[in-house]
């Protein structure tokens, strides 16, 4: 009788210990995830906690990408983590695909014997998976949106208690990921609303500028016509007429260009605001390739930025080297690339420095080297430090200007990528910087 009682007590004690372990796991996950709102950070921390609790050596979280129609390894812990990250598989492939499709937990004590196991991934990475627990990550509606895999328990096999713990963790992780996504969507909605308001305000502020410029041009044209008519009548006072003409000739010559600059600038601002608003909403305009006079685009950009350069006491010049043929490009994007290059170059200059936009072309040199338009922005400014130059046209680009974001260089990089071109950078501290874009003259295939 005593033995039976002791046996029941031992079983009860083991059950209590397991419940305490599960509660501790739940508490650990909840504490670790409650303050995280970015999905990427959440997934990373969730998997770390899961492996620690399950005493496993590796694991991964795969999330379904509805746009690509793939399961993607969003985060991986283990020996081959870096090589496996961002790998995609079909949503019905492998043990992960099986779990994603069925929405049911899968336990494997010998993964190599599993028909569903994707052996080619393990062979490619040189990693052997011995045992595994795969649990679906489900939305509040019960629909799987991913899978968590816990691999290779360090001691023995995954038992029922391990599976229960991983299942609890998966439920917590799924809720946290779903909440984080909802919060991101809510933040995006606020940003979209905010950008929409700004776009509306900018349009309202620019409209009177455009209207004023157009009205000024109309009045000036009429007044100069009347002035010419009045001066023509001063036949008896030719010297006085010439003096009047000379007094107003400077303004007469420059005002059409100033009006064009105002109208050009306001149009560009409106276009960019529309693009920003669309991009925030997830609508990115497809490039529109058409035969374009790149030299004419460069002239427009230089003319628009001359007043900005003058305010900085910097000289800006356009230099056309040889024959620059038409190129099949997206004129709007090429304009944006030139604008950002020149604007940044002006800001890197001191009074007395200069910026030159040089446009040239190179002939084709075999099938792998098509004819190219060469867009070169050269300045005599401060130069770019090596650590900044290395990141200049990458996602990690940083700005050396106060309040700068480095966004301008990323815009340039995106334009070059869309056109299948190349970027070259030459810079020397205290001497200046030359940034060279090579853009194919012919159409590119972005399919």
126 pairs with which residues across the strands? none
How does pLDDT run across 274-320, given as a tens digit for each residue?
Answer: 766 665 555 556 788 999 999 999 998 998 888 888 888 999 999 99
Asked whether residue 92 carries a pLDDT value surpassing 80, the answer given is yes
Q: Could you tell me which CATH number the domain at 290-440 has? A: 3.30.565.10
Per-position DSSP letters for 366-394, written without gaps between them: STTS--EEEEEEEE-SS---HHHHHTTTS
**What local confidence, expressed as pLDDT, does residue 268 receive?**
76
Q: What is the arithmetic mean of pLDDT over 421-444?
A: 90
Asked whether residue 384 carries a pLDDT value surpassing 90, the answer given is no
**What local confidence, expressed as pLDDT, does residue 405 receive?**
39
Considering only the C-alpha atoms of the chain, give the largest distance between any 2 of them, rounded to a whole number of Å: 139
Greater pLDDT, 220 or 422:
422
How does pLDDT run across 326-361, given as a tens digit for each residue?
Answer: 999 999 889 889 988 998 899 889 999 999 999 999
**What local confidence, expressed as pLDDT, does residue 402 receive?**
43
Mean pLDDT score of the chain, rounded to an integer?
80
The lowest-confidence range among 80-84, 103-107, 199-203, 263-267 is 199-203
Query: What's the fold here for domain 2-184?
Result: Beta-Lactamase (3.30.450)
**pLDDT band at residue 30 using 50, 70 and 90 as cut-offs:** low
Asked whether residue 369 carries a pLDDT value surpassing 70, the answer given is yes
Element housing 132 (H / E): strand 132-138
Q: Is 62 left (phi over 0), alpha (psi -120 to 50) or beta?
A: beta
**What local confidence, expressed as pLDDT, does residue 403 receive?**
37
Per-position DSSP letters for 173-214, written without gaps between them: HHHHHHHHHHHHHHHHHHHHHHHHHHHHHHHHHHHHHHHHHH
How does pLDDT run across 156-205, given as a tens digit for each residue?
Answer: 888 887 888 788 878 877 887 787 777 777 777 777 777 777 776 777 67
Which of the residue ranges 51-65, 77-91, 405-419, 421-435 has the most confident prediction, judged by mean pLDDT?
421-435
Residues 6+ apart with CB under 8 A from 215: none
**pLDDT band at residue 395 using 50, 70 and 90 as cut-offs:** low
Question: 145-182: buried (b, 16+ CB within 10 Å) or exposed (e) per residue?
Answer: bbbbbbbbbeeeebeeebbebbbbbbbbbbbbbbbbbe
Question: What torsion do the CA atoms of 290, 295, 297, 298 make, to the nearest 10 degrees?
Answer: 140
Which of the residue ranges 71-75, 82-86, 183-187, 232-236 has the most confident prediction, judged by mean pLDDT?
71-75
Residue 354: how many CB atoms within 10 A of its CB? 17
Token pair of 147 as six digits: 């899978």
Asked whether residue 74 carries a pLDDT value surpassing 80, the answer given is yes
**What local confidence, expressed as pLDDT, does residue 147 receive?**
93
Greater pLDDT, 406 or 288:
288
**What local confidence, expressed as pLDDT, does residue 121 receive?**
82
**What local confidence, expressed as pLDDT, does residue 438 receive?**
94
């Amino acid at each position: 009788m005593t033995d039976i009682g002791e046996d029941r007590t031992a079983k009860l004690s083991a059950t209590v210990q397991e419940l305490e372990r599960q509660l501790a796991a739940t508490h650990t996950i909840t504490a670790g995830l409650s303050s995280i709102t970015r999905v990427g950070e959440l997934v990373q921390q969730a998997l770390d906690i899961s492996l620690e609790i399950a005493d496993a050596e590796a694991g991964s979280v795969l999330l379904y990408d509805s746009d690509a129609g793939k399961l993607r390894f969003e985060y991986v812990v283990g020996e081959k983590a870096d090589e496996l990250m961002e790998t995609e598989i079909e949503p019905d492939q492998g043990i992960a695909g099986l779990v994603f499709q069925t929405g049911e937990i899968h336990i494997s004590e010998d993964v190599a014997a599993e028909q569903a196991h994707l052996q080619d991934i393990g062979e490619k990475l040189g990693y052997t998976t011995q045992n595994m627990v795969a649990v679906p990550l489900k939305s509040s509606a019960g629909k799987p949106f991913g899978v968590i895999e816990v691999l290779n328990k360090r001691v023995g096999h995954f038992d029922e208690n391990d599976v229960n713990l991983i299942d609890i963790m998966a439920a917590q992780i799924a809720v946290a990921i779903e909440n984080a996504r909802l919060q991101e969507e809510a933040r995006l909605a606020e940003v979209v609303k905010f950008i929409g308001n700004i776009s509306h305000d900018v349009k309202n502020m620019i409209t009177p500028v455009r209207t004023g410029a157009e009205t000024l041009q109309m009045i000036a044209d009429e007044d100069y016509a009347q002035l010419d008519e009045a001066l023509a009548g001063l036949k008896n006072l030719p010297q006085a007429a010439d003096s009047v003409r000379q007094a107003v000739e400077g303004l007469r010559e420059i005002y059409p260009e100033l009006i064009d600059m105002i109208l050009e600038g306001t149009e560009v601002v409106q276009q960019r605001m529309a693009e920003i608003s669309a991009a925030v909403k997830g609508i990115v305009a497809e490039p529109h390739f058409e035969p374009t006079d790149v030299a004419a685009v460069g002239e427009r950009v230089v003319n628009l930025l001359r007043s900005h350069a003058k305010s900085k006491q910097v000289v800006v010049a356009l230099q056309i080297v040889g024959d620059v043929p038409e190129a099949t490009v997206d004129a709007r994007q090429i304009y944006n690339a030139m604008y950002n290059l020149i604007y940044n170059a002006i800001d890197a200059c001191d009074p007395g420095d200069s910026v030159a936009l040089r446009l040239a072309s190179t002939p084709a040199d075999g099938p792998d080297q098509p004819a190219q338009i060469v867009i070169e922005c050269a300045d005599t400014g401060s130069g770019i430090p090596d650590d900044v130059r290395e990141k200049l046209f990458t996602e990690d680009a940083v700005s050396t200007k106060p309040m700068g974001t480095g966004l301008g260089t990323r815009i340039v990089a995106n334009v070059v990528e869309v056109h299948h071109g190349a970027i070259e950078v030459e810079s020397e501290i205290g001497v200046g910087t030359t940034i060279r874009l090579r853009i194919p003259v012919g159409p590119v295939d972005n399919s």
